[in-house]
A and B are shown apart, each in its own frame.
Chain A
Amino acid sequence: MMNTFLKKVKKAPWVLAQPLTKKPNNPQLVISDLFVWRCNQDWNTYFELLDLASLFGDEGQHQANIVFFDDNGEHFYQQLIELSGLNRQVLDISKVLSALKQLPSDYGTFCIFHKKVPNSILKLQSFIAERGYVSYQYKKAPLRSYVHGNFDAIDSTFTPLAGSSFLNRKYNLQYLFSPNECYEIALVNASSSNKRVEFKIVNFSKQVQRKKSVVIKSKQVFLLTFKNLPVHSRLIVKSKMIMARPVVFCFDNDKINIFHG
């Protein structure tokens, strides 16, 4: 009992008033993850747009708003999309963005806000959340690589929902980085304030192989690129993000393996 009490006391500075994500203050709002988009001669991004209201049995025509932020986290485009009910609807992000003459960057973040909230969800005091599935196509490969969303990152007033830590904390990615491969680590700041982030690649003898410190703005994604590690290594991300969980892009020549950290 004393042991449990001491554990709780020890944990208090890390959890008190520091939620992983905040609840929107209006029950009518909807939530989305901040997904990473990449569009250039090598990359395209796709999104599996499910009609969430139809899945909950709400009949009728529904819409969703897709909202884009550039590589600085600045809003630059949004479009209302008519949903396809219970048919599959794959958004080709480069086609969505082809309405623009020029893109402000070749990567950034985007979110999807469903317009219709089923009444049954309001009654449960829950919020509809788009945390679905993005796929990436690299160098026009015949197969795309899928990665799921996982975070209630932003609400439909564009207010970021991730909490912030009082103290710096480490996210130790449980993944083995190999010497033979190239990597890009994509980390999104889903909080409302700038975050100073230190990335450290260390080997299993605790020697630092790579180190990079950056400030990531709200709604911004930072891409850390590295290759030619001398030995197998791991990643430590230090910041005041509660959970600095990145998306990992692993390259084996023209083949990619993409996953949530």
Chain B
Amino acid sequence: MSYYPILTAPYCSGKTTLYNFSPNDWESVDKCDQVVSLTYIKDGLWHSKTIEELKYQSYKVVNHSDIVDLIPDGALALLSLSKGELPDTSKELPILSCNHTNVPNYRATLGLESASTEASYQGEIDPFPPQASMLTFSPFLQFGEDIENYVLLMNLEKSPENKEVEVEVYDAHSKELMKVQSAFSNQINIISLDDVGFDEQSLPIVVCRGMASIPLYFSSYKRGKILSLEHTHPPASLVVHGNRFGAQKQLKDYWLSQLKK
């Protein structure tokens, strides 16, 4: 039941492209038209609006400018494909009746567009459990004149609230706390990594003990003239087979105990 957010980042506008065709020809899906919906939080409820019916075998590009007047300022804009219309309002994030595959998952193109160029990745987001946490090693900082680096923490939870949590940024080698910043659930939280004192030898670790999220790393040259965008993997991806999530737990327990505020 994946949602497809419209991204936001400095100097850029989000652009998300949805596809109503399966990513493979051997996992069974319904070959049907689907409803494109926009979902967002307003007044403590999830609100959903139908954007259009998307024909089977076609695509839909949604720019941030297309929906900005439909949602409250700063709200996370979530797009979705489903076989029926979503409820106008709900107390929990609507469960989508939609096609699903595993090899690979259905994805959208999540893009950021500046006046000069664009960057994108193939992605989706599913709601995280509210008690989850996040730990990410972040070797994506780029250095040089006119280069800016940000981590964009993208969270989605079922409850229609923007709970406040703390994000801690550490240096892996010294284990020194370099920065603390507030972040919110059901948001794309933009955190600068340039004011922290990292250099080319620093391996940043970004930790959030109160919320899981997808960490996107975004770099910009000359206020959007060139862009770079990629996400990191969850720690479980450092191993394969066996008890992968045991390895993830071990890694998170180790680092969360080592990194003290």
On A, residues with C-beta under 8 Å from B are 7, 10-11, 14, 20-21, 23, 31, 48, 50, 52, 55-57, 84-88, 90, 120-121, 124-129, 131-133, 135, 141-148, 152, 169-176, 204, 206, 232, 234, 242-243, 245, 252, 255, 257, 259-261
What are the residues of chain A within 8 A of B107 when measuring CB–CB?
174
Contacts A10-B28, A176-B61; is A243 near B122 (CB within 8 Å)? no
Check: B43 CB closer than 8 A to any chain A CB. Answer: no
What are the residues of chain A within 8 A of B21 when measuring CB–CB?
172, 174, 234
Q: Which of B88-96, B153-161, B230-238 contacts A (4 or more CB under 8 A)?
A: B230-238
Q: Which of A20, A146, A152 contacts B217 (CB 8 A)?
A: A146
Check: B202 CB closer than 8 A to any chain A CB. Answer: yes
Measured in the bound complex, the distance between the Cα atoms of B230 and A243 in whole Å is: 21
What are the residues of chain B within 8 A of A232 when measuring CB–CB?
59
Least CB distance from B176 to A in Å reads 12
Contacts A129-B240, A174-B122, A176-B61; is A142 near B233 (CB within 8 Å)? no
Contact status A174-B242, CB under 8 Å? no
If over half of A's interface residues share one DSSP class (helix, strand or loop), that class is named, otherwise mixed; here it is: mixed
What are the residues of chain A within 8 A of B240 when measuring CB–CB?
21, 31, 126-127, 129, 152
Contacts A87-B173, A88-B203, A145-B228; is A173 near B221 (CB within 8 Å)? no
Measured in the bound complex, the distance between the Cα atoms of B238 and A87 in whole Å is: 17
What are the residues of chain B within 8 A of A141 when measuring CB–CB?
221, 226
Q: Which of A88, A132, A174 contacts B201 (CB 8 A)?
A: A88
* Candidate in A20, A133, A146, A172 with the most chain B CB atoms within 10 angstroms: A146
What are the residues of chain B within 8 A of A170 when measuring CB–CB?
24-26
Nearest 6 pairs of A and B residues by beta carbon: A125-B242, A126-B242, A146-B230, A48-B139, A126-B239, A170-B25
Least CB distance from B236 to A in Å reads 9
What are the residues of chain B within 8 A of A145 when measuring CB–CB?
119, 228
Least CB distance from A31 to B in Å reads 6
* Chain A residue with the shortest CB-CB distance to B144: A142
Q: Can you give 14 A-B contacts (C-beta < 8 A)?
A: A56-B247, A90-B139, A121-B247, A126-B242, A129-B240, A131-B238, A142-B147, A142-B221, A143-B142, A143-B147, A174-B109, A176-B59, A206-B57, A257-B118
Check: B97 CB closer than 8 A to any chain A CB. Answer: no
Least CB distance from A10 to B in Å reads 6
Measured in the bound complex, the distance between the Cα atoms of B174 and A86 in whole Å is: 9
What are the residues of chain B within 8 A of A85 when measuring CB–CB?
173
What are the residues of chain A within 8 A of B219 when measuring CB–CB?
143
* Chain A residue with the shortest CB-CB distance to B200: A88
Contact status A50-B203, CB under 8 Å? yes
What are the residues of chain A within 8 A of B117 when measuring CB–CB?
252, 255, 257
* Chain B residue with the shortest CB-CB distance to A242: B103
* Chain A residue with the shortest CB-CB distance to B250: A120
